[in-house]
Structures are given as structure tokens and as C-alpha cells.
Amino acid sequence: MKRIAIIGGGIAGLSAAYELEQHRESGAEIEYVLYEASSRIGGVLQTERVEGCLIEAGPDSFLSEKPWASDLCRELGIASEIIGSNDDARKTYILVNNRLIPMPDGLMFLVPTQILPTVLSPLFSVSTKFRMAREYFYPPHDVTNPTHGEDETVAALVERHYGKEMVERLADPLLSGVYGGEASQLSVRAVLPRFADMEAKYGSLGRAMLAQKKVTTKNAGTPTRPIFSSLRDGMSRLVEVRVGTGIFVTAPGTHAHGNGADAGPGPFELLDARKLIEGEIAALAAKNGKADDFDALQRSVESMEAHVDDFATRESVDRDFHLRIAQATGNSSLELVVQGLWNQRAELWGRLQQHFHTADLASQTIRDNAAITRAIAARDPAAARAAMHRHITRVAREFQRGVDVVARGGATKAPTSKSKAARPAKPRP
Ligand SMILES: Cc1cc2nc3c(=O)[nH]c(=O)nc-3n(C[C@H](O)[C@H](O)[C@H](O)COP(=O)(O)OP(=O)(O)OC[C@H]3O[C@@H](n4cnc5c(N)ncnc54)[C@H](O)[C@@H]3O)c2cc1C
């Protein structure tokens, strides 16, 4: 069995987990865990709605000509949500000395390919325009030179070809919009690998772009695609759609407690805590409980039997049963502890019970509660503790079985678990 750790729940980490899950489902012997430091998944990919407007806090689109993002959308079943950019109406402005200046026509990303609009544009100084003309004669890389082909920053490459002004007025504003970083910090090989290839082949980026344009014009018979694609309800859809398909939080991150809407323990954590605490409470109830307590517990069991088909009532009676055990200890602080545990349970179970609840599980819970009641009424602390442990261990086992079914695609409806860390369907050690 190969064990894999994925660090980070941005689109890269989630895609890695998605790929691994495909392999696992087709029988590969792998086990993976995704670790995310923050309290939400998606990384910089984040869509918000403010007063009815959809706002992208990170990426707002992907390049249509690169197939991978749209392929992923198709696999995830959200291809119908893809929308294209309105390229006729698209105009980009650069703020220079407090003035918004439109980017001249013919600029292909950073490379000018039309002479007149570039010459007339107030975006560049005369000396930069002169360098643009000279760039056309930039020689191809000398392949015998060992330093060629090494990585450099985008700023260094643009400056070599067009000068510093081009970095400040074009590369930096465009790259901060796309990568959220500065040209002097971004690697050419990572963010503009095409530029490195074009330079190696043609030398001049201008000549390379024109050569490419010729090929595109030749194939102009094929319908043109919009340059950018996005998703109707925002780019976050890419990271939302798989929530609940067997991926869930096993351990909260450092921000989990009270810091963000996703805060809360995972189901196995909660069951571990309940086993530890409620086991001891059952033992104490067996020691301190009174006849009234035993009667109340017995009535609870009977009430659960009477409502075996009614999930909501049975849940409420089950909660009262466990609170009554805490009450039987005579320690009101322990009552509050159990109340707290059951409040957490209500929140989690509400989201997840649709997958894990079965009629069999309900009958088994009633039998468990009857066994706990008998042990407490017999004033046998060890037996009461053991009965409570058996009950919670069994719930965890059933829960794990449910997770396995969901992970194999046996469930159709996703629990709305807010994943911060994910793991494949494997029991917790
Ligand atoms: C403002 C902005 C606009 C952009 N616009 C576009 C665009 O329009 N089109 C486009 O294609 N690209 C765009 N990009 C780039 C694109 O969004 C990113 O390249 C891509 O989202 C990066 O994904 P990632 O998973 O590699 O990293 P991230 O999204 O940064 O995710 C990394 C995750 O790892 C977590 N993490 C970090 N350290 C640890 C650790 N030690 N342990 C556990 N977890 C950790 C972080 O919390 C985070 O969730 C834009 C980027 C920004 C910032």
C-alpha cells in the first residue's frame, strides 16, 4: 500500500486528490490524505456574492485554448456551466500617472504585433517604442551556450527584449491580475513557458507571435472560441462539486475552533471524545444513580422502541437518554459536558445521517441502550462503562461502513460536510 500526503487544498492539491481517487477506485493500492492549513478549501480560488453581484477574489477565468480546466469541468459534470468571455467588448486599461490608458490593439499578452496602434498609444514612451521595433531583430538563442535554457524571471526576459518600462507598464499589471505576483518574482518556465520556447526558436517574441498568427489565420475556417472561459456561478464551483463524495474532515486545522464558519470537529473525533467521556459517566451513574434514574432510562428505551421508525423523535429520546445518564451521576458539570457533546453531534448528524442511518442501526441502538440501562440499574460501573464503549465503537464502525459506501459511489446525495482536510475511506487507527 502506497501512502501519499498532499499538502494544500488549492486547485492543485484537490486535483491531485481527485486523480488519486480515480486510481484508488480502479483498484490501485494507495491511500492518501490531503492536509490544508486554513479553514477552507480552494486556496486562492474563491467566489463571493455581494449584494447580488458575483465577485471573484482570485482567478476569474481560464484560457479556453488550454483544454485541461474544461476537461475537468466535463468530468465533474459542470460543463454546462461554462461561459465564454465577450471578447468584442473586452478592453483592458492600465493606470499610468493616475490616468487610465487602454491597452493598444494587437498586443498579444505582452507582445506588440500591430505597428500603428502601438506607435500611436500613449502607454509607451518613444524610447520603448524604438526598442519594440529593434526587438524584431532579436537573434534566436545560441543553443551551444550552456546558460541558455536556464530559468529566469519574467521581468528579466521582458526587460531583455523591450526594456524596463514594458515591465512596469505591462508585465507587472497583467501578471498581478493573472498570478497575483510581480514579474520580478515569477519564473518564465512556470508562468510563460511558451515565451521561453518562442525565444529559443525565433529569438524575437514579435516575430514568433506573427508566425503563430499566420497559422491561426490559415485555420480561420474553424469557429473561433472566446479567449477566456469561466463558470456561471463562479470559479469556486470547481472546488465545490465533489464535496461529500467520501471526503471529509478528520482533524480540524489550527483555525478550527471559533475561527471561521467551517469550525467544528470531525465525526470520528467526536465519537472518540464521547467514548472516553460518556464511558466514565456511565460508570459513575452506575455508582451514584437512584431508582428514579433507572426508571427514566428504562422509559427512554421503551419510548425509542415505540418510535423506531420516526428518526426525529428517536434522536431526541436518545439525546435525553444520554443526558439522563449524566444526570444520574449527580454532577451538574458532567451534565453540561454531555450536553455540549450532543450539541456537536446534532450539527454533524443532521448533515450526515442521510448516508449512515439505517433501520438496522436504529434497532441496534435501542438494544445497546437497553444493555447500558441494565448495567447501570445493576449498579455495575465496569459493565456500564463497557456497554457504553461497545455502543459508541459500534456506531463508529457503522459510520465507517457508510463512508466506504459513499467513497465507492454508493451514495447519490452529498453530505454538506465542509472539508478542510480529507482522507480516503479508511478507518482511523
Ligand atoms: C488574484 C489572482 C488572480 C488570478 N487569476 C487567474 C486567472 O484569471 N486565471 C488563471 O488561470 N489563474 C489565475 N490565477 C492563478 C491561479 O489562481 C493559481 O495559479 C492557482 O489557483 C494556484 O493553485 P494552487 O493549488 O497551486 O495554490 P493555492 O490556491 O495557493 O493553494 C495552496 C493551498 O495550500 C495551503 N497551504 C499552504 N501551505 C500549507 C502547509 N504548509 N500545509 C497545509 N496547507 C498549506 C494554502 O492554505 C492553500 O489553500 C490568479 C491568482 C491570483 C492570486
Cβ atoms of 281 and 370 within 8 Å: the answer is no
Share of the chain above pLDDT 70, in %: 80
Q: Which amino acid is at 303?
A: S
| Superfamily of domain covering 267-409 | GntR ligand-binding domain-like (1.20.120.530)
- How remote is the CA of residue 260 from the centroid of ligand 1, in Å? 19
- Taking the C-alpha atoms of residue 321 and residue 380, their distance in angstroms, rounded to an integer, is 18
Tally the C-alpha atoms within 13 A of residue 352's C-alpha that lie toward its C-beta.
Answer: 26
What pLDDT shows up at residue 401? 67
Closest residue to atom 29 of ligand 1, CA basis: 43
Q: How many distinct helices (H) and strands (E) make up the chain?
A: 17, 11
Question: Cβ(56) to ligand 1 under 6 A?
Answer: no
Which of 88-125 are b and which e, b meaning 16 or more Cβ less than 10 Å from the residue's Cβ? eeeeeebeeeeeebebbebbeebbbbeeeebeebebbe
Q: Kindly tell me if the per-residue pLDDT of 411 is higher than 70.
A: no
Question: Cβ(8) to ligand 1 under 6 A?
Answer: yes
Mean pLDDT of the region 114-126: 92
Instruction: Tell me which of 55-69, 297-311, 348-362 is least confident.
Output: 348-362
What pLDDT shows up at residue 251? 59
Alpha helices by DSSP H, listed for 307-380, are 311-328, 332-356, 359-377
Cβ atoms of 187 and 151 within 8 Å: the answer is yes
Q: What is the per-residue pLDDT across 144-164, written as a single tens digit (0 to 9) for each?
A: 555 566 789 999 999 999 999
Cell reading at 345: 453531534
Cell reading at 396: 463508529
Q: Kindly tell me if the per-residue pLDDT of 281 is higher than 60.
A: yes
Question: Cβ(330) to ligand 1 under 6 A?
Answer: no
Mean pLDDT of the region 190-219: 85
Question: Cβ(234) to ligand 1 under 6 A?
Answer: no
Domain ranges for the chain:
1-41, 113-219, 267-409
Predicted confidence band at 388 (pLDDT cuts at 50, 70, 90)? very high
Mean pLDDT of the region 333-346: 89
Q: Which ligand 1 atom sits nearest the alpha carbon of residue 35?
A: 43
What pLDDT shows up at residue 405? 53
- Taking the C-alpha atoms of residue 284 and residue 293, their distance in angstroms, rounded to an integer, is 13
Give me the residues paired with residue 32 across strands: 4
Q: Which ligand 1 atom sits nearest the alpha carbon of residue 63?
A: 11
Instruction: Tell me which of 28-32, 88-92, 289-293, 388-392 is least confident.
Output: 88-92
Q: Kindly tell me if the per-residue pLDDT of 40 is higher than 90.
A: no
Mean pLDDT of the region 69-75: 92
Q: State which of 179, 230, 235 you would mutate to test the pocket of ligand 1, scoring each by most atoms of that ligand within 8 A of its C-beta.
A: 179
Q: Kindly tell me if the per-residue pLDDT of 213 is higher than 70.
A: yes
- How remote is the CA of residue 44 from the centroid of ligand 1, in Å? 4
Closest residue to atom 48 of ligand 1, CA basis: 43
Q: Kindly tell me if the per-residue pLDDT of 218 is higher than 80.
A: no
Specify the 3-state DSSP secondary structure of 233: coil
Give me the residues paired with residue 84 across strands: 229
Q: Which ligand 1 atom sits nearest the alpha carbon of residue 40?
A: 49
- How remote is the CA of residue 106 from the centroid of ligand 1, in Å? 30
Predicted confidence band at 249 (pLDDT cuts at 50, 70, 90)? low
Cβ atoms of 223 and 78 within 8 Å: the answer is no
- How remote is the CA of residue 186 from the centroid of ligand 1, in Å? 14
Question: Cβ(62) to ligand 1 under 6 A?
Answer: yes
Return the closest-CA partner of residue 245 out of 110, 76, 80.
76
Q: Kindly tell me if the per-residue pLDDT of 247 is higher than 60.
A: no
- Please give the CATH topology (third level) of the domain spanning 113-219: protoporphyrinogen ix oxidase, domain 3 (1.10.3110)
pTM of the shown model: 0.57
